[in-house]
Structure 1
Amino acid sequence: MPHADKNILFIMCDQLRFDYLGCYGHPRLKTPNIDALAARGVRFTRAYVQSPVCGPSRMSYYTGRYMRSHGSNWNNFPLRIGEPTLGQHLKALGVRNVLVGKTHMTADDEGMERLGIPKGSVIGVEAAQCGFEPYERDDGLHPSRPGATRPAYDTYLEEHGFPARNPWEDRANSGLSADGQKQNGWLLAHADKEANVPEEHSETPYMTRRAMDFIREAKEDGRPWCLHLSYIKPHWPYIAPAPYHDMFTEADVQPAIRSDGERQNPHPVYGAFMDMRVSRNFSREEVRRRVIPAYMGLIKQIDDQLGVLFQFLDDEGLTDKTMIVFTSDHGDYLGDHWLGEKDLFHEVSVKVPLIVVDPSKEADAARGTTCDALVEAIDLAPTFIEHFGGEVPRHIVEGRSLKTLLRGERPPAWRQVAISEYDYSMLDSRRTLGRKPDECRLFMVFDGRFKYVHAPGFRPMLWDLQADPHEYRDLGDDPDFAAERGRLKEHLLAWALTDHNRITMSDATIETYGPARQMRGGILIGYWDEQEVAEARKAYGIE
């Protein structure tokens, strides 16, 4: 069983780019609390998510398995009943796995009904919440339809004097014009408005307080915990409360990472993505200048709230007992590469910030360091299991524990490539390209220099990040790089053929099988006579 004085605070932001933090090199956005966290732990410089979209990325974080394995390929694609989750692994160790904030989990209602699992039962709740104990779940998209369940944050806003049809949308994520008219925060044109709610009642401080509420209660409970504090921001709607709404200006907006050459005869999938409405708008400089200051303000608010939270851990005497992890589910193009949203594999989308503070003495040598090993989102699940003293079930969890890296050591056989996947069947691009839903898969293989994208039905994409760090030149059809494309495709093939569905039989159990076990069970296959059996029994040490 784990020690009662071991905990994990697992912080995730939504749609936070790795390069929009001070410690990752942003020249204008200062994030002293996140930077201080990096100074106490290890900052990973090459961390990649398993899919650059919320739902499948998070399902990979929460299961330790690739998208191809868990099958939740897009937002609101249910995670099938029976898929093992981090919560189940930790529960077996006596650890509470608790949620405050967002998961984007959709329950497999059909599967639970088929198996006769009541939604309100302990098993039903765990299955519906991706293995989390939902202290407070809020995915940040509050429904307005009649009969829909209202998240607690809506009730909170009403109780504090902010009534509305949909308080989340009409107050926390909308602004006001000069004459007092509501300005819809969904619209990019209104990103410069002050959110129509005081800062202390906006989403980020609210979720921070709810996390502290849980930690207080858990301290009395005494059991070890893993708290997933999953912030909704800086994900759109891009609108921030005062004073964060005008803390940054157009002067703070960095030049877009894009070239005119990218729009000249692009890969068909890339071209279709550039033609989406969100991409066309973010390709306009006036849109970037309007939205990015708000995006930066939302990040600054998160950093300030983390300062409050970290001080709280100090005051409660929990800092030295708590592993702290800070990351994101994916990035945000913000007009880079002529794209909006996060639907492809450029660094600004698929690479994420990852900072881990291991409080153990064994990690002292690595404090304040950076690590350039290729790590993946699925590596957190095995890291958490090991932190609480468990053994990682290798036939289920596909990630690799970061424990050794957190102690400043490099394992002798670390991964050679990082893998990410994308299913674009839910985008209008599918129709633009004339593809069927099962023909819309993309696969990224990155070896630290060359990034290869396999696009079934089309030629591949390839970038050389050593020669072209901004990923401007697609080498997917350049004959001089045929060998690199072939080499990385072999990595993809090897990964694709790796067994990933044998989750009910462990390697250790398989290793116990063999002739001796068969003989002990009275199974004699292929023996000629009694003498041969007797000799075998003696050789196997069977009396």
Structure 2
Amino acid sequence: MPRNILFIMCDQLRYDYLGCTGHPHIRTPNIDALAARGVRFDRAYVQSPVCGPSRMSFYTGRYVRSHGAAWNGFPLRVGEWTLGDHLAECGMRNVLCGKTHMAADVDGMKRLGIDPDSERGRWIAEGGFEVWDRLDGLHPTGGKQPSHYQDYLRARGYDGPNPWHDWANSAEGAGGEVLSGWLMENADKPARVAEPDSETPYSTTRAMEFIAEAGAEPWCLHLSYIKPHWPYIVPPPYHDMYGPQDVQPVVRSDLERRDPHPIHGAYMANRFSRVFARDGVRERVIPAYVGLITQIDDQIGRLMRFLDERGLTEDTLIVFTSDHGDYLGDHWLGEKELFHDASVRVPLIVVDPSPEAEATRGTVSPALVEAIDLAPTFVEAAGGDARPHILEGHSLLPLIRGEVERLREVVISEYDYSSRRARRELGQPIPDCRMVMVHDGRWKYVHAQGFRPMLFDQETDPEELHDLGADPAFQAERDRLHAALVEWALEHHNRTTMSDSRIAETTGNEWAQKIYIGFWDDADLEEAALEGASGN
């Protein structure tokens, strides 16, 4: 059984932008080596294609409709069990180094009389993580809160009120002027910060510092990189490691623009989508995106050597994944948020050092898996009770150890666009801005409240260019997948305070409590007592 868990997550890393997942140009030998040591899950899907709700599903092991944090900045309500709560019962520390996008339920804590500055309040506010170093990404001056990384940069001599923006997120012009990394025209230029001081090496160093200080106490370390998420700018030598010749052809068709689904059309109109339709943008941005990924890969190699040197490799379960993808101009879109594979499908590699996993090392699993499967995987690896009435995912260990071939028939992902411009453009009431994807590995069905559904057949249309949601010839597939959606929706999602075993123990206990229901007279009672009746 592994003693430790190293839970590595990238931000906005597409499933198909690694060497081991088939990208023809990118160099990721260290991540590829992880895949060779473990199992790569080729059909892994997140529970929402946007940072906050996706991560809250990773950290709770629950669907978005269950935990309620449906968009960035939506607090995770007080009382939700988190990975930290489950692992604490196993005697394992749950430690953060990097990004969570966690928003504290300050109003909920106030209502319950929990001091946010108390030890318990801080635990709740950080989503069950012991914070070693939190770095959610930073914004221009006046944006997000300061972080340890800002202090680190200042201590290293990077001056200015916001050294992250002026150095790590900016290039330098010929005249010494600062060129903002927020502007995509600067994506091909080197960031001003020295590479060892940029975000990815910084987070790796901090993670290694934790591991060095942790001692023998079991830990789960969530190393959560903020890259390759925009701003798309990277320090040398990664800024020109790739060029336009390494950019994959864009996946989009004129038909998508001529007759789009209303929600797809609204997202095409967003500025972050329109910019990727401009000539030359992808050729400038994607080499930087790929350079950021190779930088991450180099840091993974550095981290793996560190574990080897300390004799921790054989005691550590290692997971590598992402919180969602990045359209990069595919389907006439930028960012993420809808349900094409470029957005909702993620890389997932699990390296289980246990002898039981020997037979599957280096294999690729076609099983449909979800982000919520990691929490029960970690709990089982730590020797704990997975609490299936709370954790809605399934442990991956039976797949990794060759005990089963699949866990489910469909995967589910959800999205709430009420906070986005599309709601106003479409005239949708806030409660009706809900989308749910049901995918069985071939057919992908998207329920869009207030609009017709979307449907894609990945067998005949692997690039998802032909929306069959309005085609009468495919009504049977839509009906079948809608029925699967209804079945999922009718499952229990919020009975978290009563386990199945507890219900079984208390079933029919009215008789023991002398609660007599359905009896006519004393003779009935006496007869039931003689027969050992339960009273039901």
Identify the TM-score tier after normalising by the shorter chain. over 0.9
Alignment of 1:62-211 (within 5 A): 62-142=59-139, 144-145=141-142, 149-211=145-207
- The one-letter code sitting in structure 1 at the alignment partner of 2:109 is M
Checking the alignment, whether the CA contact within 8 Å between 1:55 and 1:105 is kept in structure 2 is: yes
Shift of 1:114: 1.2
Aligned to 1:414: 407
Partner of 2:525: 533
Higher mean displacement: 345-354 or 135-144:
135-144
SS in 2 for 1:518: coil
* CA deviation string 1:453-496 (max 9, x = no partner): 11111111000000100001000000100000011000111111
Please give the per-residue CA displacement for 1:350-376, whole angstroms capped at 9, x wherever unaligned.
000000001110111110001011100
Distance between the aligned counterparts of 1:538 and 1:365, measured in 2? Answer: 57
How many Å apart are 1:519 and its aligned residue?
1.8
Q: Does 1:480 align with 2:480?
A: no
Give the aligned partner of residue 523 of structure 1.
515
The one-letter amino acid paired with 1:310 is M
Corresponding residue for residue 325 of structure 1: 319
Contact 2:369 2:407 in 1 (8 A): no
1:224 paired residue among 214, 218, 222: 218
Amino acid at match of 1:33: N
Whole-Å Cα distance in 2 between the matches of residues 533 and 211 of structure 1? Answer: 67
Q: State the match for 1:371 in structure 2.
A: 365
Residue 506 of structure 2 aligns to a residue in which SS?
A: coil
Counterpart contact for 1:56–1:67, Cα < 8 Å: yes
- Whether contact under 8 Å (1:253, 1:292) holds in the other structure is yes
The one-letter amino acid paired with 1:119 is P
Q: 1:425 matched to which residue of 2? A: 418
Amino acid at match of 1:78: P
Contact 2:456 2:468 in 1 (8 A): yes
Matched, 1:251 2:248: no
In the TM superposition, residue 530 of structure 1 has moved relative to its aligned partner by: 4.2
Measured in 2, the distance between the counterparts of 1:173 and 1:184 equals 7
Report the secondary structure of 2:414's partner residue. strand
Contact 1:199/1:241 (<8 A) preserved? yes
Q: In structure 2, do the counterparts of structure 1 residues 539 and 327 end up closer, same or farther at CA, with 3 Å as the change threshold?
A: farther
TM-score normalised by structure 1 residue count: 0.96
Which amino acid is the alignment partner of residue 151 of structure 2? T
**1:23-34 equivalent positions in 2, closer than 5 A:** 23-34=20-31
Q: Residues 80-114 of structure 1: CA distance to partner in whole angstroms, max 9, x if unpaired?
A: 11111111111111110000000000001111111
The Cα offsets for residues 403-434 of structure 1, whole Å up to 9 and x where unpaired, read as 100112325x7311100011111111111111
Per-residue Cα deviation, 1:263-290 (whole angstroms, up to 9, x for no partner): 1111111011111111111122311001
Rounded Cα–Cα distance in structure 2 between residues aligned with 1:401 and 1:540: 40
Residue equivalent to 1:382: 376
Query: 1 CA distance for matches of 2:195 and 2:145?
Result: 25
Pairing of 1:39-78 with structure 2 (within 5 A): 39-78=36-75
Range that drifts further, 506-515 or 354-363: 506-515
Residue identity matched to 1:374? L
AA at the equivalent of 1:509:
R
AA in 1 matched with 2:368: L
Q: How many residues align?
A: 534
SS across alignment from 2:35:
helix
SS of the residue corresponding to residue 47 of structure 2 reads coil
Amino acid at match of 1:353: P
Letter aligned with residue 152 of structure 1: H
Residues of 2 paired with 1:520 and 1:430: CA distance? 55
Amino acid paired to 2:177: Q
Counterpart residue type for residue 421 of structure 1: E
TM-superposed CA distance for 1:541, in Å, is 9.0
Conservation of the 8 A alpha-carbon contact between 1:143 and 1:150 = no
Question: What is the Cα deviation at residue 449 of structure 1?
Answer: 0.6
Secondary structure, in 3 states, of the residue corresponding to 2:96?
A: strand
What CA distance in whole angstroms lies between the structure 1 residues aligned with 2:222 and 2:317? Answer: 12
1:490-537 C-alpha deviation (Å, 9 max, x unpaired): 01111111111111111111111233x222222222234445434444
Distance in 2 between residues matched to 1:235 and 1:496, nearest whole Å: 32
Aligned pair partner of 2:427 in 421, 431, 434: 434
Structure 1 contact 453–462 (Cα < 8 Å) conserved: yes
Corresponding residue to 1:6 among 3, 7, 10: 3
Contact 2:182 2:231 in 1 (8 A): yes
SS at match of 1:502: coil
8 Å Cα contact 1:164/1:171 also seen in 2: no
Which whole-Å CA distance do the structure 2 matches of 1:540 and 1:159 have between them?
Answer: 77
Distance 2:126 2:246 in 1: 39
For 2:228, which of 231, 234, 240 is the aligned residue?
Answer: 234
In structure 1, what is the Cα distance between the partners aligned to 2:531 and 2:46?
50
Aligned to 1:405: 399
Aligned-residue Cα RMSD (Å) equals 1.4
**Contact 1:66–1:398 at 8 Å: present in 2 too?**
yes
**Cα separation, 2, equivalents of 1:155 and 1:43:** 37
Q: Is the 8 A contact 1:342 1:349 kept in 2?
A: yes
Match of 1:509 among 481, 491, 502: 502
Q: Structure 2: 5+ residue runs without aligned partners?
A: none
Q: Return the letter of the residue paired with 1:54.
A: C
Counterpart amino acid of 2:194?
Answer: P
- How far apart in 1 are the matches of 2:5 and 2:176? 44
d(CA) in 2 for partners of 1:298, 1:476: 37
Distance in 2 between the 1:54 and 1:240 partners? 21
- Rounded Cα–Cα distance in structure 2 between residues aligned with 1:151 and 1:326: 25
Question: Normalising by structure 2, what TM-score?
Answer: 0.97
